Chain A
């Protein structure tokens, strides 16, 4: 059995003066998984991401119960900056996380704050920019980079710290479909290259379908399903309020399974779906 990258145990949380945003959260994210966090707006997905990074409850304050462990260590009593060495967080409003004038300064900012020696900072910065497809852009001003490039720059600054877990909150919400596909391709490449754990909050699962290994479904601050993608998708499909959140291809797959009483493969792209449907239904005359 694989170790848990992040583990929530009986976790509850309420913002100051507000009602519970997360209720009785119990689940673990497998180390080395590509996990998607799914749920309707206001389900508590961003709050859950912040709880993984220790920002909640230890920075924002509020009321809480239970615990969150990152790579086996309780986030309680640990500094957010220390947790960031193990778990990198990229928030939806990525522009607000950019603090420097040039790309190089941006990537090296957190490294310098963590006290890395200058030679290592320069080397890690170069490598991180190269990894995200921005090689040699150290001296580029922020306004010389496009929105997509700035987002990849932020990814580089998270990667430069070399965390074992990376959490991205709706990373493509402001991107066009091509940009979204390209960012997820890049993310998957890095996921494979470094063997890290990736957790993504995403509304449009069509973009990430080829890469998902695990899924967590959240609704009204409660976990509705968690585990391997196939099982969690089936559970979500059983709930009329959640099924529309699944990838279009899987809505078709699960509907067909239900209607025809058959089992279909774990489709990850349209090609796989077509070839299996041809094989199965071609013979029965459909």
Chain B
């Protein structure tokens, strides 16, 4: 150990961070969104509420990779597209607008927290999932309100509470799945052999 320290003092070592992956975010997004689509298809409806796995999955992706805003837009767009075919709502294309918003909010939350030095805040995934779902759900239901010409109080007192319930559920899912996903995707760092 002493020999090590002496050697390190004698030699001027250059410190280098691990290489930043330029495409890993694409792979992570693709895989997690695919998982999201499968879970979305098979998950049961509990008391009229179904978790939105897709939002939870892109919240995890965004939390893991901290993409730029244009990249987050791309993630949101693809996420919205995956929801269109299976959507039973009156306006399936509304998913694209809502997921674009959700992904942007998730990116905003992640970037803000990182800037505030809250990278290791324990409930960062929960907050990301919750706020992204709130934003996405609010936009989606608002589009429905406009298309179906529903009164404002229906939107506020009937639709938004459901959105909030799903958001709580999604926040929980994001929180629970974040750590395993992080372990799976970020094994880089080198191993001594």
Give me the interface of A with B, judged by CB distance under 8 Å: 12, 14-16, 18-21, 23-24, 42, 44-47, 56-65
Q: How far is the CB of A84 from chain B (nearest CB, A)?
A: 14
Enumerate chain B residues within 8 angstroms of A23, measured Cβ to Cβ: 7
B12 touches A62 (CB 8 A): no
Q: Which residue of chain A is the closest to B13 with respect to CB atoms? A: A63
Q: Report B-chain residues with C-beta under 8 Å of the C-beta of A61.
A: 16-19, 189-190
A47-B193 in contact (CB<8A)? yes
List residues of B whose CB falls within 8 A of some A CB.
1, 4, 7-8, 11-19, 188-193
Using Cβ atoms and an 8 Å threshold, which residues of chain B touch A18?
192
Chain A residues with Cβ below 8 Å from B188 are 59-60
A20 to B14 Cα, complex, angstroms? 13
A45→B192 CA distance, assembly (Å)? 10
- List residues of chain B with CB within 8 A of the CB of A64: 13-14, 16
- B193 touching A56, Cβ below 8 Å: no
Are B13 and A60 in contact, CB atoms less than 8 angstroms apart?
A: no
Chain B residue at smallest Cβ distance from A92: B193
Determine if B4 and A60 form an interchain contact, defined as CB atoms under 8 angstroms apart.
Answer: no
Closest residue of B by beta carbon distance from A66: B11
Q: Which residues on the B side are within 8 Å of A65 (C-beta)?
A: 11-14
Given A20-B7, A20-B8: A63 in contact with B14 (beta carbons within 8 A): yes
Which among A23, A42, A60, A65 has the greatest number of chain B C-beta atoms within 10 A? A60
Report the bound CA distance from A132 to B189 in whole Å: 33
The contact sample of 30 A-B pairs, CB cut-off 8 A, is A12-B11, A12-B13, A15-B190, A15-B192, A16-B189, A16-B190, A20-B7, A20-B8, A21-B192, A42-B192, A46-B193, A47-B193, A57-B16, A58-B16, A59-B18, A60-B18, A60-B190, A61-B16, A61-B17, A61-B19, A61-B190, A62-B190, A63-B13, A63-B14, A63-B16, A64-B13, A64-B14, A65-B11, A65-B12, A65-B14
Chain A neighbourhood of B192, CB < 8 A: 15, 18, 21, 42, 47
Tell me the bound Cα distance from A62 to B17 in angstroms.
Answer: 6
Whole-angstrom CA separation of A12 from B15 in the bound complex: 12
A16, B18: Cβ atoms closer than 8 Å: yes
Q: 9 extra interchain contacts, Cβ-Cβ under 8 A, other than A14-B13, A42-B192, A60-B188?
A: A23-B7, A24-B11, A57-B16, A60-B18, A60-B189, A61-B18, A63-B13, A63-B14, A65-B13
- Chain B nearest Cβ from A164, distance in angstroms: 24
Which residues from B are CB-within-8-Å of A16?
A: 18, 189-190
- Closest CB of chain A to B114's CB: distance in Å? 19
A58 to B21, CA, bound (A): 12
Q: Tell me the bound Cα distance from A272 to B12 in angstroms.
A: 49
**Closest CB-CB distance, A265 to chain B, in whole Å?**
36
Of chain A, the residue at the smallest CB distance from B5 is A19
Report the bound CA distance from A12 to B8 in whole Å: 9
- Residues of B within 8 Å of A14, CB to CB, are 8, 13
Query: Which partner residue on chain B sits nearest A13 by CB separation?
Result: B13
CB distance from A179 to the nearest CB of B (A): 23
Residues of A within 8 A of B11 (CB): 12, 24, 65
Say how far B140's CB is from chain A's closest CB, in angstroms: 37
Q: How far, in whole Å, are A112 and B14 apart by their CA atoms in the complex?
A: 35
Q: How far does the alpha carbon of A16 sit from the alpha carbon of B191 in the complex, in Å? A: 9
